[in-house]
Amino acid sequence: MQLQVLQNKIESRTAKLAVIGLGYVGLPVAALFAKEGFQVIGIDIKKDRVDLINKGISPIEGKEPGLNELIKDVVTEGTFSATTEYEKLRDVDVIFIDV
């Protein structure tokens, strides 16, 4: 993809994003991009983690102010979903690796 086309997609929030690794760094990053209007797919190897996220539940334990509500909101809005299937990367424009 040409750089200018990608830049335009990012500026217009039409770029599809992927975040690999939905832990303490990747999950908040993915959720915040989804909150800003990007379509985000999160990928993690832990199926139980993916299942919780897709139910709108944060699997991260500890004090992460507002993260639980943010996850619930972006999953409900349909801007964020999680999977264990790496083949979903074929459809994205930008990939963040947070492992």
What is the predicted pLDDT for the residue at 92?
Answer: 96
What is the predicted pLDDT for the residue at 1?
Answer: 58
pLDDT per residue over 45-93, tens digit each? 999 999 999 999 999 887 788 999 999 999 999 999 999 999 999 999 9
Distance CA 72, CA 70 (A): 5
Helix, coil or strand: residue 42 = strand
pLDDT per residue over 2-34, tens digit each? 888 999 999 999 999 999 999 999 999 999 999
Find out whether 92 and 14 touch, Cβ atoms under 8 Å: no
Q: What's the predicted TM-score (pTM) here?
A: 0.92
Phi, psi of 20 (to 5 degrees): -95, 120
Among residues 85, 80, 77, which one has the least CA distance to residue 29?
A: 80
Question: In this structure, how many other beta carbons lie within 10 angstroms of the beta carbon of residue 18?
Answer: 22
Compare 65 and 96 and report the one with higher pLDDT: 96
